[in-house]
Amino acid sequence: MKIGIIGCGAIGSDVAHAADSFPEIDTIFLHDVDEKSEKKLAESTEKGEVVNSETLLEKSDVIFEAASQEAVKMYAIDVLKQGKDFIIMSIGSLFDDDLREKLEETARKHHAKLYLPSGAVCGIDGILSASGDTIDKVTLVTTKPPKALNKNYKKRTVLFKGTARDAVQQFPKNINVAANLSIAGIGFDKTLVEIVADPVATRNSHKILAHGRFGRLRAEVENMPNPNNPGSSYLASLSAIATLKRIVNPIQIGA
């Protein structure tokens, strides 16, 4: 299998290094607008190869995006039209209902799949299962050190309180977990989000609270920041790697 990686930052690098050890993967095509990043990643992997976007889309069997919401809009449709699976990390891009519906229609038509890793949260599988019946309320509380949000607050500050749709628009690089939670559960307009900057916090934390006919759910995780990007949780990278394993593995775990 040949995998293409769009975005050679912290998460893309973690995925590439993991994929380097997968016997099922023989080639890793790398592409980033930052030539230094893609070159550095290629040099640190055995199977990595820097290519342009056209070559990546043409030769890859599966394509992994870890770049930006703009990259999803730029490449996803073309990938799916070729019948190839697309793994999206910038899930906040899917708050655009028209885009999300178009991607779903294209994937169905060309027998391709969109994979949305659970990212830096726990409990997505529970929400997905519970969505088979009525869910009354879902709330996500995200707390991060100020520097992870490019802020410099001296006391605990609530930066945002509102719907997931507004959250992913205002914090596109920090709250992708809200998008995934919304898609798995009751949607962008009903899912509630609170984003907090806390100078006492040493880790990025996410707490999901939900209740409905299934019962009550409370899932909380305190993440270590990614060593190469304090704004991203290391669990997000591990989730992406787990998704890639799921594609190549015959055993499927989870909802």
Question: What are the CA-CA distances from residue 251 to residues 202, 246, 248 (Å)?
Answer: 36, 7, 9
Q: Which residues contact 21 (CB under 8 A, 6 or more apart)?
A: none
Dihedral sign for Cα 101, 102, 103, 107, please: positive
Which residue in this structure is represented by tokens 């989000």?
Answer: 193
- Checking DSSP bridges between strand 135-144 and strand 204-212, what pairing results, if any? antiparallel
Catalytic residues: 206
Query: Which amino acid appears at position 209 of this protein?
Result: L
Q: 17-52 in b/e burial notation, b at 16+ Cβ within 10 A?
A: bbbeebeebebbbbbbeeeebbebbbeebebbbbbe
- 133: helix, coil or strand? coil
Fill in the amino acid letter for 8: C
Q: Give the whole-angstrom CA distance, residue 165 versus residue 176.
A: 11
The values of phi and psi at residue 35, to 5°, are -65, -30
